Amino acid sequence: MASAFDYVEPKVGDLIEIFRLGYQHWALYVGNGYVIHLAPPSEVCDAGASSIMSVFAEKAYVKKESLHRVAGANRYQVNNKLDRKYRPRPAHIIVKEAEGQLGQEMDYSLFSANCEHFVTDLRYGVSKSCQVDDVVTGVGVGIGVSVLGLTAMLCYQLMKPQQRHKK
């Protein structure tokens, strides 16, 4: 069985997930070795800390660059994981719309308008970031577990004196 990280030759319209330190950058494959992606000014290939600084950016630019330049030394893969949930738009429409946005400055938000939102909107017509959803769900679960734990501890503390009085 093939692993999730086996190399698959990208096809026009595919989403490319690039594994950076602490997060994934996303791009759209448009053919001939090129991708279109949304990148804040601080998003630099192999830049480490300066790429991580993109979380503070409020603006980003639509760029067309070679996949190898965007990925740098980072591992990448084709990842159309939302194909099971949403129908991909025709590749020629995806590329035409992406190329029509080249050079544009766009609002950028880590939680609502990041590079993954940008490419999923192009491919599916739905702006979605599973990366953000996973973080929000994880935080929600963490908060829920913490609240549940605190509630249980409070109940235990409140019931403890009553149990002593029963003896």
Q: Write the DSSP assignment of 8-52 as a string of letters.
A: ----TT-EEEEEETTEEEEEEEEETTEEEEEE-TT--TT-THHHH
Catalytic residues: 25, 37, 115
Number of domains in the chain: 2
Domain check: are 116 and 74 in the same one?
A: yes
CA dihedral 13, 104, 41, 57 (to 10 degrees): -100
pLDDT digits 0-9 by tens, 3-24 = 445 677 999 999 999 998 888 9
Is the pLDDT at 124 greater than 90? The verdict is yes
As a whole number of angstroms, the distance between CA 17 and CA 150 comes to 38
Contact 26, 18 (CB under 8 A): yes
Question: Does the residue 2 lie in any domain?
Answer: no
Banded pLDDT at 104 (limits 50, 70, 90): very high
Question: Does the residue 9 lie in any domain?
Answer: no
Instruction: Look up the domain containing 49 and give its range.
Output: 15-128
Six-digit token pair at 53?
Answer: 């600084």
Non-local CB neighbours of 105 within 8 Å, separated by 6+ positions: 59, 60, 61
Question: Does the residue 8 lie in any domain?
Answer: no
Domain check: are 20 and 79 in the same one?
A: yes
Q: How many other β-carbons are positioned within 10 Å of the β-carbon of residue 164?
A: 8
Question: Does the residue 3 lie in any domain?
Answer: no
Domain check: are 47 and 119 in the same one?
A: yes
Verdict on whether the full-model pTM lies above 0.75: no
Q: What is the CATH number of the domain that holds 48?
A: 3.90.1720.10
Q: Which amino acid is at 121?
A: D
Domain check: are 153 and 72 in the same one?
A: no
pLDDT digits 0-9 by tens, 36-72 = 999 988 665 544 433 454 566 789 999 999 999 999 9
Question: Does the residue 39 lie in any domain?
Answer: yes
